[in-house]
Structure formats: C-alpha cells, structure tokens
Chain A
Amino acid sequence: MPAPPAPAFCLRLLQRQLVLALRRPAGIANPLLFFAMVVALFPLGLGPDPKLLAGFAPGILWIIALLASLLTSDTVFRSDFDDGSIEQLLLAPQPLYFSVLAYVGAHWLVTGVLLALASPLFGLMLGLPAVALPALFASLLLGTAVLSLVGGIGAALTVGLKRGGVLISLLILPLYMPVLIFGSSAVRAAVQGFPVAPQLAILGAMLCLAIVLSPFAIAAALKISVDA
C-alpha cells in the first residue's frame, strides 16, 4: 500500500485526534469547567461590586483562558508519546511539519475554540458590556491558536519527562505574554468604544508567525524527546 499524500495524512491525523478527544468528553469539558470555576473565584476574591468586576473582566477572562489552554497543552503529545505513536510519526514519510500542525490544530479545536465559544457567557457573568463580546470572542479565537502552537513547543520539550506539569508553565508562560497583552487590550478597547481591528490584526500576525515557525521547533523538540 502506498503512503498517503501529506494533506490526506494530516487530515486523517486531525480526524483521529478529534475522535480520540470526543471519546473522552470529560477531557473536553474540563477546561471549560476550569474556566467557569475560576471565573467564580474572582467575585469571591475581589468583592461582588459589578463596576469593579466589569473593569477587570477583560484581563480576568483572558488570563483564565490562557491558563486553561496551558493546563491542557501538557497532554497534546503525552498519550501518543507513551504508546509509541510519535516514534512512528517520526519515521513516517510525510513531513513532520504538517503532522505536528494536525496535533496542535486538534488541541486548538477542542480547547481554544470551545473556550472562545463559551467566553461570552462568562463575560456577561462578570458584567462585561455586550458590545465587547464580539471582540472577546474574536481575540480568543485568534489568540488561543497562538497559545496552542506555543504550548505545543513546551509540550514537545517536556513530553519525555515524568514531571513535566509545572515545568511546562515555567517554559511557556513568558512566551504567552504578548498574546495576553494584545488579547486583553482588544477587549478593553471594545469596552471603551475604540476600534479593535489593530489588536486583532497584530494577533493575526502573531498567529501567522507562530504557524510558520513553531512546527519546526515542535518537530525538533519531539525528535529530542524521542531520542532521550
């Protein structure tokens, strides 16, 4: 049987990851539950004053989404690394660059997109004005894709380690900061009635850069982890 061409291979890989994720609905629901619970913590910590909460809401929502994405990025390659699928992938004739993109894309679809879809609800709970909700959704949609790509680098670097959990956050949180800055600023701009296009454009530019460069780093890191 001839090897399938790279695009078909990647689509099949993406499909496989999604099917695997759908078989464990709890795994998909966990980041959303985490999001909801941490949103509930903020009024308890900051006080229930709606004005105060609405002022902090863009930053709060963005930080929680970032942490939710971080918590799950550890698992992107973990199970496939443990059962040897990653090793097979390294030997496959298809370019690793695109296979890795399929893994990261699946992670984005089951965390980032869902977080973005759920975020308007939590935005309303924190008193975010309705005009800012489209900006929140759009910035999260673009931003979490960058977070998934960068998180994939951390996941690939630490996948061979037994205790990678805390380490991965040390490695990639500094790299998340630009996304947080522009993402939360887009939402804040929308609240104040300013145009949000510049911030979204910068997030889009970051996404382009991350799509082009991070698969190289992820592929190199996976090779190192398999060799170790």
Chain B
Amino acid sequence: MWTFFHKLGSPPWLYSISGSILRYLVPLTILALACGAVWGLLFTAPDFRQGNSYRIIYIHVPAAVVALAGYYVMATAGAISLIWKMKMADIAMKCCAPVGAALTFISLVTGSIWGKPTWGTWWVWDARITSMLVLLFLYLGVMALYEAFDNKEAAGKACAVLSIVGMVNIPIIYKSVDWWYSLHQPASIKFTGESSIHASMLYPLLLMIASFYALFACSLLMNMRAEILHRERRAGWVRKLLQGPGSQL
C-alpha cells in the first residue's frame, strides 16, 4: 500500500504508467461515448411530453454529474498535496480545474439549448442551472488564482486551500439555491423527476455517465502528463525518455 503511494509520488513512474493506461483508456472512452450517443439518439423512444428534445439528457446530466464530482476530486487532490506535500497531487489538482470547467460549460450550454424547446426560453434561473453556474465560477476562480501567482508552488497551495473552502461551501450553496428556488418557483414550470425515468432511457444514460467519468480520467491524465513534462523538463529521466528507443516524437 505504502509503496504504491510512494510510487504515485514519482513523476517518471506516473508518466509511464499513465501512458500505458491511456493507450487503452482513450480508445475505450471514445468507443463508449460513441455507443452511448448513438444509443441515446437513435435507439430510444422519445419522451411522451418533451418529444425528441429530451435526448439532450444523455450529455447534459452526465456532464453535470462528472463536473460536480470533478470538484471533489480537485479538492481531495489539493488536500493530499497540502497534507503530504505530494507533487503529483498538486499537478492533479491543477489539471482538474480546466477539465471540470469544460464539463460544467457543456452541461450549462446543453441545458440552455434544452431549455429553449422545453420552456420556450434559453435561460431560466432554475435551481440546478444556477448551481451549475456557481460551480463554473468556482472552477474559474481556482484557475484565475493559479494564473495570478508567479511562484507556481505557492499557486498550487493557494488553489488547494481555495478548492477545499469551495468543497465545504458547495453543499451549502446547493441547499440555499434549492431553498431560494422553492421560494420563488413559478407554478408554470414543472419538472419531470429523474427518479421516474424509464429503464430503456436509463441504461444509455448510465453508459454515458460512465463514459463521461472515463473521459474526465483521460483528459485529466493527459493534462497531467503534459504538466509533468513541463515541470520536469530539466530532469534526467525526461532526457533519457527522448533518447530512448521508444521516444514519442
């Protein structure tokens, strides 16, 4: 267990193991995403109330779920880097932010596009959309703070503190936005509960959620590999990597 933990902290080991993981994970992810999208687009019946526009759910919900989980991954990595001073956790935290922000962006944009045929307007200040918007701001705040520091070591620590503060706040923000919305909810807008979703629609949704998790892992690992190279560019093992037989140029 501890040797595994120590290995995780070693840049060359992480670089090479993530390379071999990605070799299989990336094609698998793309395949799963394609299957899920085709399944959702072509092989499911339309929703009896929303018609075909509900098919956006197969990207909207997975992106939102993974974007939220991504914040927790980022904050956990930040906590690990603060507590154990693990460089790789610091890199993981830094690389989570853009990926999470992109997924939050997907869920916001698809939600807005879905809103037009369903509610007749591009944007509704609904509890979930508002919470996702706040999540996007939290991600962008972490990225802005990282960019503002010249000393990248301090930047990583500061972002770790900020993301932990954000993690404590996310449940509070979500609960208060929920409460705020229930207070102002206009009677004309009704939501179909996701718990009542039919099984034939649920399975492609679950597949898409799993593939978005895999997508998050792929993009995170790829970003981490680039960041490792950037930080270790003077290290001996990077030079060896270039001169080695399997040089990846």
Task: Please count how many residues in chain A sit with their CB below 8 Å of the partner chain's CB atoms.
Answer: 29
B134 touches A174 (CB 8 A): yes
The yes or no answer to A195 lying at the interface (CB within 8 A) is: no
Q: Which of A167, A206, A221 contacts B144 (CB 8 A)?
A: A167
Known A157-B162, A160-B154, A228-B154; contact A178-B173, beta-carbon cutoff 8 A:
yes
Q: Which of B82, B137, B173, B180 contacts A220 (CB 8 A)?
A: B82
User: Which residue of the partner chain A has the closest CB to B164?
Assistant: A217
A174 touches B138 (CB 8 A): yes
B176 touches A161 (CB 8 A): no
A220 touches B161 (CB 8 A): yes
The yes or no answer to A109 lying at the interface (CB within 8 A) is: no
CB contact list, B76-126 vs A, under 8 A: 82
CB contact list, B138-178 vs A, under 8 A: 138, 140-141, 144-145, 148-149, 151, 153-154, 157-158, 161-162, 164-166, 168-169, 172-173, 175-177
Alpha-carbon separation in the docked complex, A161 to B149 (Å): 7
Q: A160 contacts which chain B residues (CB < 8 A)?
A: 149, 154
Alpha-carbon separation in the docked complex, A228 to B140 (Å): 22
Q: B203 contacts which chain A residues (CB < 8 A)?
A: none
B158 touches A221 (CB 8 A): yes
Q: A185 contacts which chain B residues (CB < 8 A)?
A: 180, 183
Known A157-B145, A174-B137, A224-B154; contact A206-B172, beta-carbon cutoff 8 A:
yes
The yes or no answer to B179 lying at the interface (CB within 8 A) is: yes
Q: A228 contacts which chain B residues (CB < 8 A)?
A: 149, 151, 153-154, 158
Q: What's the count of A-B pairs with C-beta under 8 Å?
A: 79
B141 touches A174 (CB 8 A): yes
CB contact list, A210-224 vs B, under 8 A: 213-214, 217, 220-221, 224
Q: B151 contacts which chain A residues (CB < 8 A)?
A: 228
A177 touches B148 (CB 8 A): no
Q: Which of A158, A174, A209 contacts B173 (CB 8 A)?
A: A174
B148 touches A161 (CB 8 A): yes
A221 touches B161 (CB 8 A): yes
A181 touches B154 (CB 8 A): no
A224 touches B176 (CB 8 A): no
Known A161-B148, A167-B145, A220-B82; contact A178-B158, beta-carbon cutoff 8 A:
no
A171 touches B144 (CB 8 A): yes
Q: B162 contacts which chain A residues (CB < 8 A)?
A: 153, 157, 171
The yes or no answer to A108 lying at the interface (CB within 8 A) is: no
Alpha-carbon separation in the docked complex, A206 to B173 (Å): 11
Alpha-carbon separation in the docked complex, A206 to B177 (Å): 15
B164 touches A175 (CB 8 A): no
Give, as a whole number of angstroms, the nearest-CB distance from B152 to chain A. Answer: 10
CB contact list, A172-228 vs B, under 8 A: 173-175, 177-178, 181-182, 185, 206, 209, 213-214, 217, 220-221, 224-225, 227-228
Q: B173 contacts which chain A residues (CB < 8 A)?
A: 174-175, 177-178
30 pairs, CB–CB < 8 Å, chain A vs chain B: A157-B145, A157-B158, A158-B145, A161-B149, A164-B148, A167-B145, A170-B137, A170-B141, A170-B144, A171-B145, A174-B138, A174-B166, A174-B173, A175-B166, A175-B169, A177-B134, A177-B173, A177-B176, A177-B177, A178-B175, A178-B176, A181-B180, A185-B180, A185-B183, A214-B165, A224-B158, A225-B154, A225-B158, A227-B154, A228-B149
- List residues of chain A with CB under 8 Å of any chain B CB: 153, 157-158, 160-161, 163-164, 167, 170-171, 173-175, 177-178, 181-182, 185, 206, 209, 213-214, 217, 220-221, 224-225, 227-228
Q: A171-B141, A178-B169 are in contact. List 5 more A-B contacts (CB 8 A).
A: A153-B165, A174-B173, A177-B134, A217-B165, A227-B157
